[in-house]
Structure 1
Amino acid sequence: MSRVKLGDVAFERKETLKNNTGLPTVGLEHLIPEEIELTNWDEGADNTFTKVFHVGDVLFGRRRAYLKKAAVAPIDGICSGDITVISADKDKISPRLLPFIIQNDSFFDFAVEKSAGSLSPRVKWQHAKEYEFELPDMDKQEELAELLWSMNATKMAYKKLLQKTDELVKSQFIEMFKDYPRERFDDFCSTHARIGWQRLTSAEFLDEGDYYLVTGWDIMPDYTVAFNQCKYVTKERYEQDPKLILSKGDVLLTKDGTLGKVAIIGDLDKPATLNGHIFVIRPKDDRILPEFLIGLFTSEDFKRQMETNKTGSTIVGITQKAILEFMIPVAPVEKQKEFILFMQQSDKSKFELEQAIAELTATYKKIIADNLG
């Protein structure tokens, strides 16, 4: 075991190619935070990229390193100038281990510290290569790489199961409600949002207080609201529009920016309202169950209708009028309850998978810290 600098065992590939016609292209948007394998890229897209990478190179997103973007390339191609292409010195470090040196919290913390610039901080290779870590002998490196890649494969398998569970719920919704008549959404639900003069400025987002302010950032993938990370507003702003005061069973739907995030309000430990980027939706009577709306808003049919009706170019959104005019399947409450039970069972399976992923990730990071720290 010896302590080395990244630049002692790896180098920045500086190969360029001006005539890049037909090569796969990778931008920062193709790098997924904290995922070690590159799985997405463009083919035949117009671009000005000239930086070459080869199979096995590590593509490190040097802009905004806190996003933790670094992945090993399974193909040859070209990439953005905001990506540093890092190659292993095969006599000194296993190419299979290098991705885990780069895709780890310690390296990203170092890169953030060495970044320059305020709006879009970037780290240069001349600084990143100074990162120090423990490196075992080559046999131990191969053993460690084998273990880490095996753990990564298990994690990705869990993630695929999560995706398939979501797809199963969507398919079940279609199958259960495809033959029911459709009626206008506003016949069954009311929809409210902050109108222009009620909008909040960022200066009104408080770090503490008695009245939660829910934003799109607070809506979680499991359709809940993370109140522990919410900002706050004054009592006057909270009381400004009674229709925006949240209650248990209210359904939230983001209407612009990140379009279509959904949540249902559970128990509240403090009063809450919402910002101008979210609709609050309430069934008018007992013909529609709030939990059923979660299935509706995450269905492919609803997403297609949103895509057809969205407005704007810089900030894409959906209007209240368009929501109210959506045509939705109208099924008996008992049928809705049947679907809700199926969705809850699926959510339980997802929760167990997510726990397994979290535990695996924690173990994976500990192995890296203990062996490469």
Structure 2
Amino acid sequence: MNTALENIVEELQLDKSKWKLTKFGDVAIQQKGKVDRENTLLTKYIQGGHMNSEDLHIRNWGNLEDEYLGPAFIRKFEKGDILYGSRRTYLRKVAIADFDGITSNTTFVVKANEDKIDKRLLPFIMMSEGFTENSIKNSKGSVNPYINWKDIAKYEFLLPPKDQQDKLAELLWAMDDVIERENDALNKLNETYSISINQFMIHGNYGDNGEIIKTKCGLLDKRIKIIKLKDCLLEKPTYGANASSKPFENGSLRYIRITDIDDEGNLIKEDKVTIDSTDYSKYILKDQDFLFARTGNTVGKTLLYDSQMEESVFAGYLIRFRVNSKILNPKFLFYFTKSLKYETFKRKMIKVGAQPNINSEEYQSMILPSFSIEIQNELIDKLDFMKCNIDTLKSKISSSKALQKSLINQVF
């Protein structure tokens, strides 16, 4: 976050003595324009899944000709309108449309009453803690709770005088601009990271028959060989432990499930379960053990365990591979599983049935580039450097968003 903005937020002392208690319905107007989908020039639609939590920007949308939409998609919105997800309001889905389009009747389309409020402030009011708490409190239904417009319209908040609204709007949007620039930088870093992985793993340049090929990667201008994963192992792969009883809350070992691993291969800290060590000693993970998910919708997900993580055992839907580090650096295997080559391998191997599945034999047939350990380490260092920059920027974005959220709640 820009240091000047941080200082402004820290020093912000709002005198609200002249602010007026205002109902949301007095500054916001619900739009109910309908669209005849058979006779419209509109081509884009937005559904709930296209809107991100606590993100004012539309980053995804659908095209009307791409798929069937149910009869609920009749609501028209215009560029500049605010879209609000009226179901499961705890998700805080508020976004500003940057094009004309169609949405469902469960998404409220909102315009600001510009006679009473600077329109730039309205979306931040809808992102505030008070507004969200009101929506949650007044939602109806248990499975898929929803809020009615009349209950939103009754929400009351302190509105600053018009002569103060402009400065507050500029500050709030300046913070949003900083976050957007950081997001743009992150997207570029992620793109470079992804391209580099695929170059380093020479995607598409070797086949299944073990032929010697020439890499197109500029770093490795030499002829290389390939190797199968089964030839890089210290022992046979091991399937995980199926807990015979409900894991103990105060067990001595963490019980790692597929759901404990995120899409990037990190161990999730929240919502963990533990298990007693009795009868599970052979499933205790050692430093640099490699886990593959073998079944379910997340088949192919991976985790590289290291000794800095808490002592753990692994669940039955995971397979442990112990790699011979003299042949294959486990970190290199981890980066390989982030490549397009690995995605191609998964698509080829997954057996579709009641549950998608890849077994240990199939994983062992995976083909890798047979680089020397020195070259593997060189590539790992380069990718580690990129990953470190990505993680640093992600942390910075999190801090910026926290500061933005703090300011929104100071104001509203």
- Class of the TM-score when normalised by the shorter of the 2 chains: 0.7 to 0.9
Give 1:184's aligned residue.
Answer: 228
Deviations 1:278-319 (A, max 9, x none): 443331452111111221111122123323444448865545
Give 1:2's aligned residue.
Answer: 20
**Structure 1 alignment gaps of length 5 or more:** none
- 3-state DSSP of counterpart to 1:248: coil
**Structure 2 alignment gaps of length 5 or more:** 1-18, 203-214, 216-223
| Residue pairs, 1:312-351, within 5 angstroms | 312=352, 318-351=358-391
CA contact (8 A) 2:201 2:336 kept: no
Distance in structure 2 (CA, Å) of the matches to 1:322 and 1:142: 62
Give 2:111's aligned residue.
Answer: 87
Q: Which amino acid aligns with 1:335?
A: I
CA contact (8 A) 1:170 1:295 kept: no
Distance in structure 2 (CA, Å) of the matches to 1:313 and 1:105: 45
| Residue pairs, 1:174-253, within 5 angstroms | 174-178=198-202, 179=215, 180-189=224-233, 191-194=237-240, 199=242, 204-220=246-262, 223-227=265-269, 229-236=271-278, 238-239=280-281, 242=282, 244-253=283-292
CA contact (8 A) 1:225 1:264 kept: no
Cα separation, partners in 2 of 1:82 and 1:254, compared to 1, 3 Å: farther
- 3-state DSSP of counterpart to 1:352: helix
Distance in structure 1 (CA, Å) of the matches to 2:161 and 2:46: 33
Give the TM-score of the pair, scaled to structure 2.
0.79
CA contact (8 A) 2:251 2:277 kept: no
After superposition, the CA RMSD in angstroms is 2.8
State percent identity of aligned pairs: 25
CA contact (8 A) 1:56 1:95 kept: no
Distance in structure 1 (CA, Å) of the matches to 2:122 and 2:108: 14
- More helix per residue: 1
Question: Match for 2:192 among 150, 168, 189?
Answer: 168
Give 1:16's aligned residue.
Answer: 34
CA contact (8 A) 2:201 2:341 kept: no
Cα separation, partners in 2 of 1:326 and 1:41, compared to 1, 3 Å: same
- 3-state DSSP of counterpart to 2:158: strand
Distance in structure 2 (CA, Å) of the matches to 1:36 and 1:109: 18
Cα separation, partners in 2 of 1:222 and 1:257, compared to 1, 3 Å: closer
Residue correspondences, number: 365
CA contact (8 A) 1:250 1:281 kept: yes
Larger radius of gyration: 2
Cα separation, partners in 2 of 1:106 and 1:323, compared to 1, 3 Å: farther
Give the TM-score of the pair, scaled to structure 1.
0.86
CA contact (8 A) 2:58 2:98 kept: yes
Question: Match for 2:174 among 138, 145, 150?
Answer: 150
Superposed displacement of residue 36, structure 1: 0.9
Superposed displacement of residue 210, structure 1: 1.8
Give 1:33's aligned residue.
Answer: 53
Q: Which amino acid aligns with 1:215?
A: R
Distance in structure 2 (CA, Å) of the matches to 1:110 and 1:313: 45
CA contact (8 A) 1:254 1:260 kept: yes
Distance in structure 2 (CA, Å) of the matches to 1:312 and 1:79: 34
Cα separation, partners in 2 of 1:318 and 1:72, compared to 1, 3 Å: farther
Superposed displacement of residue 228, structure 1: 5.5
Distance in structure 1 (CA, Å) of the matches to 2:355 and 2:165: 47
Please say which of residues 307-316 and 174-183 is displaced more in the overlay: 307-316
Distance in structure 2 (CA, Å) of the matches to 1:3 and 1:174: 57
Give 1:55's aligned residue.
Answer: 79
